[in-house]
Structure 1
Amino acid sequence: MTPAARFLFLRILATLIFLASGAAGMIYEISWSRQFGNVFGHTVYTSALVLSSFLGGMAIGYWLAGRYRGQWQPLMAYGILEIVAGTWTLIVPFLLHAAATTVIGSLEPGPLSSYVALRVIFSFLVLLPATVSLGATWPLMAAFLSPRNAPAPQWLSWGYATNTAGAMLGSVLATAFLLVNVGVTLSSYLAAGVSIACGLLAILVGFAGQTESGRENIDSQDLVGDPGKVMIRTADLSETIPLRWWLLVGFSGFSILALEVLYMRLFSLVFHNSTYTFGAVVTVFLLALALGSTIIGFLGNRLAPATLAAWSCGLGAVGIMLSIAIFKRWTNFQYFSEGTSFETYLLAAFKLVFWVVLPPITALGMILPLAWRAIEPKVARESQIAGLTAVSTIAGALGSLTASFLLPLLGLWGSFIALTALYLLLCFGMLIGRGAISQALAFAIVATVALEFNWSTMRKVNTLEPGETLLQRWESAYGWIDAIEFTDSRGFSSRTTRQNLHYGFGNSRTSVQRDYRQGHLPLLLHGKAQDVAFLGLGTGQTAAAAVPHEELKSIVVVELIPEAVLAARYLSETNRGLIDAPRVEIQVNDARRFLSGSGRQFDVIVSDLFVPWESHTGYLYTVEHYRASQRSLRPGGLFCQWLALYQMGPADFEAIANSMASVFPNVTLWWVRPNTNSPVLGLIGTEKPIVFAQTAAAQGWLEHNPHTGEHDTLLADEQAILSYYIGDWHPVRGAKLNTDEHPIVEFSAPIAHGNNRKLRGPPMQDYFERVLASLPQRGVDVTGVTGPARDHAWRLTQQRQLLGIEVASPPTKP
Structure 2
Amino acid sequence: MAFAALNIVFLISGVSALIYQTAWQRMLGMFGGSDSISATLVVGAFLFGLGIGSHLAGVYADRLTSRRAVVAFALCELGIAAFGAISRWVFYDFFFGELVGVAESRWSIFAMLFVGLLWPTTLMGMSLPFLAKAIVRQIDRSATAIGWLYGLNTIGAGLGAVLAGWWLVGTYGYPATIWLAALLNALVGVVALLVAPAMRVDDAQPPRRGAAARIGAGVWRWCLLMLVSGFIIISLEIVWFRLIGLMLQSNAYTFALVLSVFLLGDGLGIIAGAYWVPRIRDPKAFFVGLQGVVAVYAVGSIWALYGVFDRSQAFRVFVENDAMSQLATNWPLILGLTMVLVLPPSFLLGLSFPIAQRAVQDDPAVVGQRVGLIQLFNILGNTAGSIFTGLFLLHWLGTSATLRLLAAIGIVFTTMLLVTHGRSMVPRRLAGTAVVWVGLASLVVAFPGGREFWGKLHHAEPAHTVHFAEDRTGVTLLRVTPAGHGTFFIQGHSQARLPFIDMHGLLGAMGPLVHPDPKRVLLIGVGGAATPYAAGVNPQTRHIRAVEIVGSAFEVLDSFAATNGGSAIARVRADARYEWVLGDGRRDLFIAEGRWDVIEADAILPKTSHSGMLYSAEFFQQVRARLADGGIAVQWAPTERIVDTFAAVFPHVVRVQNILLGSDRPIPFDMAAFRARLAEPAVAEYLAHGGYCCIGIDRLAGERIRGVWGPDTVRRTADLNTDLFPKDEYYLNR
For the criterion TM > 0.5, the same-fold answer is yes
Instruction: Rate the CA distance shift 1:696–1:527 in 2: closer, same or farther, 3 A.
Output: farther
Equivalent residues of 2:518, 2:598 under 8 A apart: yes
Instruction: Rate the CA distance shift 1:593–1:158 in 2: closer, same or farther, 3 A.
Output: same
Q: What are the equivalent positions in structure 2 for 1:200-215 lying under 5 Å apart? A: 200-207=190-197, 209-211=198-200, 214-215=201-202
Instruction: Rate the CA distance shift 1:419–1:580 in 2: closer, same or farther, 3 A.
Output: same
Structure 2 equivalent of residue 196 of structure 1:
186
Instruction: Rate the CA distance shift 1:108–1:298 in 2: closer, same or farther, 3 A.
Output: closer
Q: What are the equivalent positions in structure 2 for 1:321-340 lying under 5 Å apart? A: 321-328=299-306, 331-332=309-310, 334-336=316-318
| SS of residue in 1 equivalent to 2:271 | helix
Equivalent in 562, 576, 581 of residue 551 of structure 2: 562
Aligned partner of 1:744: which letter?
A: K
Equivalent residues of 1:606, 1:639 under 8 A apart: yes
Question: TM-score w.r.t. structure 1 length?
Answer: 0.80
Q: Deviations over 1:488-515 (max 9, x none)?
A: xxxx314453224x42221331x34443
Structure 1 equivalent of residue 496 of structure 2:
506
Structure 1 equivalent of residue 279 of structure 2:
302
Determine whether 1:621 maps to 2:621. no
Structure 1 equivalent of residue 424 of structure 2:
436
Aligned partner of 1:312: which letter?
A: L
CA–CA distance in structure 2, aligned partners of residues 20 and 297 of structure 1? 20
Aligned partner of 1:255: which letter?
A: I
Equivalent in 581, 590, 597 of residue 587 of structure 1: 581
| SS of residue in 2 equivalent to 1:614 | coil
Instruction: Rate the CA distance shift 1:154–1:710 in 2: closer, same or farther, 3 A.
Output: closer
Equivalent residues of 1:59, 1:132 under 8 A apart: yes
Identity %: 24
Equivalent residues of 1:82, 1:199 under 8 A apart: yes
Aligned partner of 1:263: which letter?
A: W
CA–CA distance in structure 2, aligned partners of residues 654 and 548 of structure 1? 29
Structure 2 equivalent of residue 746 of structure 1:
729
Equivalent residues of 2:263, 2:346 under 8 A apart: no
Structure 2 equivalent of residue 381 of structure 1:
367
Structure 2 equivalent of residue 278 of structure 1:
255
CA–CA distance in structure 1, aligned partners of residues 54 and 692 of structure 2? 69
Structure 1 equivalent of residue 57 of structure 2:
65
Instruction: Rate the CA distance shift 1:720–1:395 in 2: closer, same or farther, 3 A.
Output: closer
CA–CA distance in structure 2, aligned partners of residues 331 and 269 of structure 1? 14
Question: TM-score w.r.t. structure 2 length?
Answer: 0.88
Aligned partner of 2:613: which letter?
A: Y
CA–CA distance in structure 1, aligned partners of residues 471 and 623 of structure 2? 28
CA–CA distance in structure 2, aligned partners of residues 442 and 529 of structure 1? 69
Equivalent residues of 2:64, 2:205 under 8 A apart: no
Structure 2 equivalent of residue 609 of structure 1:
603
Structure 2 equivalent of residue 725 of structure 1:
705
More off after superposition, 343-352 vs 380-389: 343-352
Determine whether 1:685 maps to 2:662. yes
What is the deviation of 1:273?
2.5
| SS of residue in 2 equivalent to 1:596 | helix
Determine whether 1:45 maps to 2:34. no
CA–CA distance in structure 2, aligned partners of residues 44 and 436 of structure 1? 47
Instruction: Rate the CA distance shift 1:636–1:67 in 2: closer, same or farther, 3 A.
Output: same
Determine whether 1:98 maps to 2:94. yes
Determine whether 1:239 maps to 2:216. yes
What is the deviation of 1:359?
1.4
CA–CA distance in structure 1, aligned partners of residues 700 and 370 of structure 2? 76
Equivalent in 639, 652, 656 of residue 670 of structure 1: 656
Equivalent in 401, 406, 410 of residue 423 of structure 1: 410
| SS of residue in 1 equivalent to 2:518 | coil
Instruction: Rate the CA distance shift 1:711–1:252 in 2: closer, same or farther, 3 A.
Output: closer
Equivalent residues of 1:519, 1:543 under 8 A apart: yes
Equivalent in 226, 243, 254 of residue 231 of structure 2: 254
What is the deviation of 1:151?
4.6
Instruction: Rate the CA distance shift 1:153–1:552 in 2: closer, same or farther, 3 A.
Output: same
Unaligned stretches of 5+ residues in structure 2: none
CA–CA distance in structure 1, aligned partners of residues 273 and 702 of structure 2? 71
Structure 2 equivalent of residue 136 of structure 1:
126
What is the deviation of 1:358?
1.3
Question: Which is helix-richer, 1 or 2?
Answer: 2
Q: Deviations over 1:2-34 (max 9, x none)?
A: xxxxxxx21111010000000111111111111
CA–CA distance in structure 2, aligned partners of residues 188 and 410 of structure 1? 37
Structure 2 equivalent of residue 319 of structure 1:
297
Instruction: Rate the CA distance shift 1:694–1:281 in 2: closer, same or farther, 3 A.
Output: closer
CA–CA distance in structure 1, aligned partners of residues 366 and 165 of structure 2? 39
Equivalent residues of 1:526, 1:696 under 8 A apart: no
Where relative contact order (Cα < 8 A, 6+ residues apart) is larger, the structure is 2
CA–CA distance in structure 1, aligned partners of residues 249 and 96 of structure 2? 32
Equivalent in 696, 706, 712 of residue 694 of structure 2: 712
What is the deviation of 1:318?
2.5
What is the deviation of 1:471?
4.5
RMSD between aligned alpha carbons? 2.9
What is the deviation of 1:186?
3.0
Equivalent residues of 2:533, 2:690 under 8 A apart: no
CA–CA distance in structure 2, aligned partners of residues 446 and 127 of structure 1? 41
| SS of residue in 1 equivalent to 2:249 | coil
CA–CA distance in structure 2, aligned partners of residues 600 and 282 of structure 1? 41
Q: Deviations over 1:239-283 (max 9, x none)?
A: 264443122100011111110001112223422321222211111
Aligned partner of 1:12: which letter?
A: A
Structure 2 equivalent of residue 598 of structure 1:
592
Q: What are the equivalent positions in structure 2 for 1:548-559 lying under 5 Å apart? A: 548-559=537-548
Whichever of the two has the greater Rg, that structure is: 1
More off after superposition, 430-439 vs 535-544: 430-439
Aligned partner of 1:726: which letter?
A: R
Determine whether 1:171 maps to 2:166. no
Equivalent residues of 2:671, 2:704 under 8 A apart: no
Aligned partner of 2:519: which letter?
A: Q
Unaligned stretches of 5+ residues in structure 1: 1-8, 225-230, 646-652, 672-680, 753-814
Aligned partner of 1:533: which letter?
A: L
Structure 2 equivalent of residue 15 of structure 1:
7
